[in-house]
Amino acid sequence: MAEAGLIHAGKLLGDGVAVETLSSLIGESESWVLDGGVANSQQASMLMAKGITPKFVVVLDVDVSTAIAKMDPVVVDPLDQTEYHLENLPPPSEVLDETTGEPIEGVLAPSDRALKRKEQHPAVLHARHNRFNANISSILSLYQAVGCCILRFSQEPEHLLDPLQVAASVMTEIRSLDLLQLTLPPAPQTVSGRSKETKDAPETRTPPPDPEPSDG
């Protein structure tokens, strides 16, 4: 597919294709997590026009060398798309029979068939990193304008971001916003140009004036 070739080369899908793909995946879900986010502010605008606006936007700023080092041990089994980490979660070196638990002879093991995705190669990661830096400011400006909560974490020199600390900070912000929303009155819903509160209220009509007496 042409789209797969673009992704492997670190290039962008067309805005229309990307937005339709994301909107179909999210569907009618009330809660969702989009890993990777949108590629530019145009895609963000197109998704918002479809009613898809994030409540939180989490940005992790890391240098490209760190990104390459983190992606280098990651491999995927092309048979079932299972992802492994060569150091922390290596692919199995044998295939076991589901019934007996014994190794199956003559079957290629995940460790033998696992490979790196083309989009993980350093040249592709450099292209993606440059694109991220070129577009992130306009994307965040758009989300801030509509009230999204922006959580941005930057890597300090010689200190990598701690995933546990980042996760804890994100959860703290989410809980804080949820508590704040519980203390606020619900916003009136707009129905056909009138708020729902106004629509549900009985209408007040001015009575017609009394008829003037005739001269007869």
Q: Minimal CA–CA distance to 114: which of 74, 72, 70?
A: 74
In this predicted structure, which of 4-8, 67-71, 77-81, 191-195 has the lowest mean pLDDT?
191-195
Kindly tell me if the per-residue pLDDT of 182 is higher than 70. Answer: no
Kindly tell me if the per-residue pLDDT of 82 is higher than 80. Answer: yes
pLDDT digits 0-9 by tens, 36-56: 889 999 999 999 999 999 999
In this predicted structure, which of 28-42, 95-109, 163-177, 194-208 has the lowest mean pLDDT?
194-208
More confidently predicted of 189 and 157 = 157
In this predicted structure, which of 128-132, 151-155, 157-161, 203-207 has the lowest mean pLDDT?
203-207
pLDDT bin (cut points 50, 70, 90) of residue 195 is very low
- Mean pLDDT for 108-115 is 92
Strands (E), 99-204: 149-154, 190-191, 194-195
Kindly tell me if the per-residue pLDDT of 214 is higher than 70. Answer: no
Q: Minimal CA–CA distance to 157: which of 59, 58, 62?
A: 62
Q: Minimal CA–CA distance to 74: which of 61, 59, 91?
A: 91
Whole-structure pTM value? 0.66
- Mean pLDDT for 8-31 is 82
More confidently predicted of 10 and 110 = 110
- Strands 149-154, 190-191: pairing is unpaired
Query: Which residue in the block uniquely carries the two structure tokens 């605008």?
Result: 45
In this predicted structure, which of 6-10, 79-83, 102-106, 119-123 has the lowest mean pLDDT?
6-10
Q: How far, in Å, CA of 143 to CA of 149, rounded?
A: 8
Write the CA distances from 109 to 92, 105, 106, 151, integer angstroms: 7, 10, 9, 41
pLDDT digits 0-9 by tens, 150-167: 999 887 766 677 888 888
Q: How far, in Å, CA of 170 to CA of 109, rounded?
A: 39
- Would you state the pLDDT for residue 2? 56
**Is the Cβ–Cβ distance between 121 and 112 less than 8 Å?**
no
Q: Give backbone dihedrals phi and psi of 97, rounded to 5 degrees, phi first.
A: -70, 130
Q: How far, in Å, CA of 153 to CA of 61, rounded?
A: 6
Kindly tell me if the per-residue pLDDT of 8 is higher than 60. Answer: no
- Mean pLDDT for 96-101 is 88
More confidently predicted of 22 and 216 = 22
Q: Minimal CA–CA distance to 79: which of 115, 104, 105?
A: 115
